[in-house]
A and B are shown apart, each in its own frame.
Chain A
Amino acid sequence: ETGVTQSPTHLIKTRGQQVTLRCSSQSGHNTVSWYQQALGQGPQFIFQYYREEENGRGNFPPRFSGLQFPNYSSELNVNALELDDSALYLCASSSPSDRSLAKNIQYFGAGTRLSVL
């Protein structure tokens, strides 16, 4: 059973550029969540995808967008990069065992560290 994998591990962009981060969920998981972790802070929820549809969004502007594919892998896209977007971006996958998603464990990848210059 493979875990959650993210690519790339590190990325350097300049202000105003666009970036795409990728996540492969753990085998059998149909839910993917994305989090932003700024230096010295806890992760902040960006959004979640369940069976290819957005299923909740945090307080992030529309220039943060995502996709989930039929194989449940996911992308996070950020347009018009700003300096404050520099952070570790974490992807987590889970698989609801019943109608309550909340108690299901989220398994995290190692993250993509994005630096915006």
Chain B
Amino acid sequence: AQSVTQLGSHVSVSEGALVLLRCNYSSSVPPYLFWYVQYPNQGLQLLLKYTTGATLVKGINGFEAEFKKSETSFHLTKPSAHMSDAAEYFCAVTGGRAFGNEKLTFGTGTRLTIIP
């Protein structure tokens, strides 16, 4: 079974400041980890994913995340926030390599607000 905990349901940062959104996971098998973004009245868009290999993954719009197995974390960062980054962000996990195990388990989300 998998689960995801996102610390902080609301995060506010100033434009140009560092963005840090926290995600911790629990998985009984090696996880695949994802960050999705949801803009108002829209579906989910993939920002980045970790499956195997390099633990620092880069995504779209300048976001990146680091898989830390020892800390069971997959925090999302961006060096400099932009007004267009305001949205809801979801961390998600799947059960790894088993065939047919594609169910995404999501966290409860973090709403990011950018202060001008």
Question: A residues bordering B, Cβ < 8 Å?
Answer: 4, 31, 33, 35, 40-45, 48, 50, 55-56, 58, 90, 92, 94, 96, 99-111
Number of B interface residues, CB 8 Å? 29
**Bound-complex Cα distance A45 to B43 (A):** 15
With A33-B104, A42-B90, A43-B90 as given contacts, are A101 and B43 in contact (CB-CB < 8 Å)?
no
Q: A56-B101, A102-B96, A106-B104 are in contact. List 8 more A-B contacts (CB 8 A).
A: A42-B90, A90-B44, A100-B97, A102-B94, A102-B101, A107-B46, A109-B43, A110-B42
The 3 A-B residue pairs whose C-beta atoms are closest, nearest first, are: A42-B106, A108-B43, A101-B102
Is B100's beta carbon under 8 Å from chain A? yes
B contact patch SS: loop
Check B102 against A111 for contact (C-beta < 8 Å).
Answer: no
**Bound-complex Cα distance A106 to B42 (A):** 15
Candidates A45, A96, A105; contact of B49 at CB < 8 Å: A105
- Chain A residues in 8 Å Cβ range of B43: 4, 90, 108-111
**Bound-complex Cα distance A30 to B71 (A):** 35
**Bound-complex Cα distance A40 to B45 (A):** 17
- Chain A residues in 8 Å Cβ range of B108: 40-42
With A31-B102, A106-B104 as given contacts, are A43 and B49 in contact (CB-CB < 8 Å)?
no
* 15 cross-chain CB contacts under 8 A: A33-B103, A35-B106, A41-B109, A42-B4, A42-B92, A42-B106, A42-B109, A45-B103, A48-B103, A56-B100, A58-B103, A101-B101, A103-B97, A110-B43, A111-B43
CB nearest neighbor in A for B42:
A110
Check B42 against A103 for contact (C-beta < 8 Å).
Answer: no
**Bound-complex Cα distance A110 to B98 (A):** 28
Check A42 against B107 for contact (C-beta < 8 Å).
Answer: yes
- Residues facing A in B17-41 (CB within 8 A) are 32, 36, 41
**Bound-complex Cα distance A102 to B33 (A):** 10
- Chain B residues in 8 Å Cβ range of A110: 41-43
Check B101 against A43 for contact (C-beta < 8 Å).
Answer: no
Check A102 against B97 for contact (C-beta < 8 Å).
Answer: yes
